[in-house]
Copies of this chain bind each other. A is one copy, B any other.
């Protein structure tokens, strides 16, 4: 069952005595169409990290609001315009029964449930000044609300320059 474990000693990077750890925050703002709109945040996130000058550390990104979520996927039309939404429609159907909607006379019970399952935030390592994503791996915002929204994604980057 187990894959083989790494045999070589770990190569530790970033143990630089001289430069102190810094902590830098910024906010990305994006307009969405709601309704499972998925947006690629990778370029802006990597650019923001580069702007901080931090080379080895951690980034955390969180979307403000409880009907949107952050995750990673290959950003190509099949996945982001159909497959991810189709799966979430099976898990939490738009036309399902939600007590949230009956209580608040609202229509976004499925939006809340989907957002809680995917999750509001992502923690990411920063190595050589960027998140070491794969070529076909992008950081995405998923907006599950039932109307267009303006979303704020708050980012903090911490580490050594």
Q: Once the chains bind, are A83 and B109 in contact (CB under 8 Å)?
A: yes
Q: How large is the interface on A (under 10, 10 to 19, 20 to 34, 35 or more residues)?
A: 35 or more
Q: With both chains docked as a complex, state the minimum distance between the C-beta of A26 and any C-beta of chain B, in angstroms.
A: 4
Query: How far, in whole Å, are A159 and B20 apart by their CA atoms in the complex?
Result: 12
Report if A44 contacts B (CB, 8 A): yes
Partner of A24, one of B14, B25, B26, B39: B14
Residues of the B chain whose Cβ atoms lie less than 8 Å from the Cβ of A76: 100, 103-104
Closest to A137 in B: B66
Q: Which residues 75-99 in A have Cβ within 8 Å of B in the complex?
A: 76-84, 87, 90-92, 98-99
Query: How far, in whole Å, are A99 and B88 apart by their CA atoms in the complex?
Result: 15
Report if A146 contacts B (CB, 8 A): no
Given contacts A10-B26, A122-B123, A158-B57, contact A117 B87 (CB under 8 A): yes
Interface of A toward B, CB cutoff 8 Å: 1-6, 10-15, 20-33, 37, 39-40, 43-44, 47-48, 51-52, 56-58, 60-62, 64-66, 71-74, 76-84, 87, 90-92, 98-104, 109, 112-113, 115-127, 131-134, 136-138, 154-156, 158-160
